[in-house]
């Protein structure tokens, strides 16, 4: 699969819903009911971050058992991460930044990558490598919606998924930008709801997030 085909897959995933949940999961037993709640609420794309030992098992379970879910892997830092996630059944990968080694590994992997950038220079470097769909991270500390909006004119080829410090309240500021297709957010799967098994509450958060489509450019 070449870079253009993989970028098309990334774009399709980004357009599934206004928000991609960024999930930190401590117990893989929560994965399937959590994912089913998100899908029922209208949020099919789910990023499970490699920040806990349970992450790969969670991805494996969602990929195997949750119809309608498009499960991806986040916090990808290396070729080993890409390979492990692909073996677990992930359908896309997200990185907080980029390195030459990670980009080389992505070239040799079938897993589509949504790489992270924080500066215009990083975005230009990735554009040279064929990437048109990027993660803007950490969105709020790096400059927020004003900075990302300022990139729209000089970098019209690029589309972004801003992630980092975004909430239901601030998401509309980003989604209204012409160069934003979706946002990433951890507020859809808060740790207290995961630990208490409040799947109805997570489904409701997903339904609220879907309504953000009305503010999109």
pLDDT in tens, 50-62: 999 999 999 999 9
pLDDT at 134 over 80: yes
**What does the pLDDT read at residue 127?**
98
pLDDT at 217: 76
User: What's the average model confidence in pLDDT over 74-98?
Assistant: 97
Q: Report residue 1's pLDDT band, with 50, 70 and 90 as the boundaries.
A: confident
Binned at pLDDT 50, 70 and 90, residue 68 comes out as: very high
Instruction: Select from 79, 93, 22 the least CA-distant residue to 52.
Output: 22
**How much is the average pLDDT of 183-199?**
97
Q: Which of 47, 86, 195, 208 is catalytic?
A: 47
**In 3D, which of 158, 175, 159 has the Cα closest to residue 217?**
175
Statement: the pTM of the whole predicted model exceeds 0.85: yes
Question: How many CA atoms lie less than 13 Å away from 130 in the CB half-sphere?
Answer: 14
Mean pLDDT of all residues in 156-175: 98
Mean pLDDT of 196-215: 97
Contact 155, 177 (CB under 8 A): no
Alpha-carbon span 98 to 158, nearest angstrom: 16
168: its two tokens: 């239901």
Q: What share of the chain is helix, strand, coil (3-state, %, to 5)?
A: 45, 15, 35
Instruction: Kindly give the pairing relationship between strand 116-117 and strand 133-136.
Output: parallel
Is 215's pLDDT higher than 90? Answer: no
The per-residue pLDDT of the chain, averaged, comes to 97
In eight-state DSSP terms, residue 129 is T
Q: What's the CA gap between 56 and 173, in Å, rounded?
A: 33
Is 47 an annotated catalytic residue? yes
Assign 125 a pLDDT band (cuts: 50, 70, 90): very high
Rounded to the nearest 10 degrees, the angle between the axes of helix 79-88 and helix 55-65 is 30
pLDDT score of 30? 98
Domains and CATH numbers, the chain: 3-212 (3.20.20.70)
Q: Looking at residue 41, what is its pLDDT?
A: 98
What's the pLDDT band for 145 if we cut at 50, 70, 90? very high
Query: What is the average per-residue pLDDT within 140-160?
Result: 98
Catalytic residue among 135, 193, 203, 208: 135
User: Is 208 one of the annotated active-site residues of the chain?
Assistant: no
């Amino acid at each position: 699969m070449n870079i253009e085909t993989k970028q098309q897959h990334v774009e399709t995933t980004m357009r599934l819903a206004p928000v991609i949940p960024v999930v930190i999961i401590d117990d893989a037993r929560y994965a399937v009911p959590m994912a089913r709640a998100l899908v029922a609420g209208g949020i099919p794309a789910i990023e499970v971050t490699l920040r806990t030992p349970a992450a790969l098992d969670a991805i494996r379970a969602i990929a195997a058992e949750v119809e309608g879910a498009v499960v991806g892997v986040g916090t990808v830092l290396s070729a080993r991460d890409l390979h492990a996630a692909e073996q677990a059944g992930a359908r896309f990968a997200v990185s907080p930044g980029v390195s030459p080694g990670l980009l080389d590994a992505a070239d040799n992997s079938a897993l589509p990558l949504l790489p992270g950038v924080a500066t215009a220079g990083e975005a230009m470097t990735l554009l040279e490598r064929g990437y048109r769909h990027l993660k803007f991270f950490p969105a709020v500390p790096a400059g927020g919606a004003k900075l990302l909006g300022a990139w729209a004119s000089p970098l019209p080829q690029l589309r972004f998924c801003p992630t980092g410090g975004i909430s239901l309240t601030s998401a509309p500021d980003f989604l209204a930008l012409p160069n934003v297709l979706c946002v990433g957010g951890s507020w859809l799967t808060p740790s207290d709801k995961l630990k208490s098994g409040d799947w109805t509450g997570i489904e409701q958060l997903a339904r609220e997030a879907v309504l953000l489509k009305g503010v999109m450019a």
